[in-house]
Structure 1
Amino acid sequence: MRYPALVPGTLLRRYKRFLADVRLDDGREVVAHCPNTGSMRAVNVPGCRVWLSPSDDPRRKLAWTWELIELPQPEGATALASVHTGRANRIVEEALVAGDIEELVGLGPLTREARVEGAHRARLDFRLGSGDGAAYVEVKQVTLREADGHGYFPDAVSERGRRHLEVLAGLAATGQRAVLLFCVAHEGIGSVAPASHLDPAYAEALQRVAALGVEVLARRCRFVLEDGRPCAVTLGEALPVEVERRFPG
């Protein structure tokens, strides 16, 4: 997925969930839309370099959208992370269409916002194929890197996330393929585990549904730079998902 021409700045603060004050490199201070309803634990770090996408749509209240943040890592390194949760589905969809996720190749046409009927009526992000051979895929973006160096999901209590797990488990119980795909949008994360320290009910549910046949996958995002600026992102290598691991803090 290619980004529009991104503009760099420094994060001043995020507030009211959907707003962020940013000082652009040219000195202007702007208010940007923050497309993330979560707690943004560990990625809401004032003083860090951020990247905004501009818009000239006169219907928009805000001309800027917060896309990425550069986070400090050990030994002076930095890691890009996406704060725009709405990008994850597009990144995954491009990978599915291109056949870049080997576990999900050759299943048939892709349907977005796939309806699931039955006891757990819901919509999941994607369905590949149709009939008994279909695979349902729910995507979750991961950006929480804790002090132990590992990635965790969710970054706060997520009743919606638990409901999606129950829907996937219901599909698996009827013989359908049900897949939870963690889109790891943080360069510094090398593995994923349920955040039992933040949402123990989600962690218990993930362990249970994985034992019932829900496939749990994780892929790391690869950010592409041109002349030092992020210009695109693709879905890269598989990462381990450790459903039994616990954050030691």
Structure 2
Amino acid sequence: MIVPERPLLKLEAFHCTVKEKVNRFVVRASVGEEELLVHNTNTGRLEDLIWEGNEAYCSPKGGGKLKYKLVAAKTPFGFAVTDTNLQERALERAFELGYLSWARGCEVKRRPRYGSSTFDFELRCPEGRALVEAKSADLASWRGFGMWPDCPTDRGVRHLEELGAFEGRKVVVFVVGFPKASGFVPYCKGDPRVCELLAKLDLELRAVGMYFEPLTSSVVLYAELPALLLEGREEPLPKVVA
């Protein structure tokens, strides 16, 4: 469902250029002639986003060894929100403002525990309680779908299994972080176990579209997207090097 574009969060961010991915959590970037090591919160491979020469946006980071973090990177569709913490904060804001039809009228609580896992949100709705797990779907397919996961994810599998055991409303919301997306589909080549669980478990699958707007330095919500189980039908968009 297309919704009016709505800014969710405004942040302090500056343009940077990716030099290399140092490791899972650190990216080397340049700002003019200066090189910086910046924190990467997204544990996916992100090979379509973090590559030498790609345009990106960095933001000051409060505390820790690194002063800055990577928040967005360029795709053929626009700038994708790469920072998973930022995605979660934006999603929480969308809940609070009643922008998502399937969560309207619900109170939101962060970080509820169930079993051995901590999930992203608990929704306390008039019809009952719901546990919500958010997953970042920044991998773009050739038809413009956001996909997850882009690599094996033991943590993601455990979350799905434990969420499936919850006796109540259980929601997985896929955050497609780039503009103009067609929807969400799982990327089964990333981790076949994920596709098996999504097909088997009684989970409510949702997807939302948001992106980073450089002109206003904002994270913008633009759609409630379809979440589809089109196993094996989508492949990643080839990396476009200018």
TM-score, reference length from structure 2: 0.85
Question: Within 1, Cα distance between the matches of 2:124 and 2:144?
Answer: 37
Which one-letter code corresponds to 2:60 in the other structure?
P
Q: What is the Cα deviation at residue 149 of structure 1?
A: 3.5
Question: Within 1, Cα distance between the matches of 2:146 and 2:108?
Answer: 29
Q: Does 1:95 align with 2:101?
A: no
SS state at 1:95 partner: helix
Q: Does 1:242 align with 2:242?
A: no
After TM superposition, the structure 1 = structure 2 runs for residues 146-185 of structure 1, keeping only pairs within 5 Å, are: 146-171=141-166, 174=167, 176-185=168-177
SS state at 1:90 partner: helix
Question: In the TM superposition, what whole-angstrom CA distance separates every residue of 1:219-249 from its partner, at most 9, and x where no partner exists?
Answer: 0004344xx3x51113331111111332455
Q: Gaps (5+ residues) in structure 1?
A: none
SS state at 1:196 partner: coil
Match of 1:20 in 2: 27
Question: Within 2, Cα distance between the matches of 1:191 and 1:130?
Answer: 26
Which one-letter code corresponds to 2:54 in the other structure?
C
Whether the 8 Å CA contact 1:142–1:182 is kept in 2: the answer is: yes
Match of 2:35 in 1: 29
Q: Does 1:138 align with 2:133?
A: yes
After TM superposition, the structure 1 = structure 2 runs for residues 44-63 of structure 1, keeping only pairs within 5 Å, are: 44-55=50-61, 60-63=64-67
Match of 1:205 in 2: 197
Match of 2:109 in 1: 111
Match of 1:64 in 2: 68
Question: Within 2, Cα distance between the matches of 1:99 and 1:4?
Answer: 21
Structure number with larger C-alpha Rg? 1
Count of aligned positions: 228
Question: In the TM superposition, what whole-angstrom CA distance separates every residue of 1:114-167 from its partner, at most 9, and x where no partner exists?
Answer: 122xxx442211111179711111111110013454321111111211222122
Whether the 8 Å CA contact 2:81–2:219 is kept in 1: the answer is: no
User: Which is richer in helix?
Assistant: 1
Alpha carbons of structure 1 residues 61 and 123: separation in structure 2 relative to 1, 3 Å: closer
Alpha carbons of structure 1 residues 150 and 2: separation in structure 2 relative to 1, 3 Å: closer
Match of 2:48 in 1: 42
Question: Within 2, Cα distance between the matches of 1:224 and 1:127?
Answer: 28
Which one-letter code corresponds to 1:241 in the other structure?
A
1 or 2 for the larger relative contact order (CA 8 Å, sep ≥6)? 2
TM-score, reference length from structure 1: 0.83
Q: Gaps (5+ residues) in structure 2?
A: 1-7, 236-242
Alpha carbons of structure 1 residues 63 and 121: separation in structure 2 relative to 1, 3 Å: closer
Structure 1 stretches (4+) deviating beyond 4 angstroms?
A: none
Identical aligned residues as a percent: 25
Q: What is the Cα deviation at residue 204 of structure 1?
A: 0.9
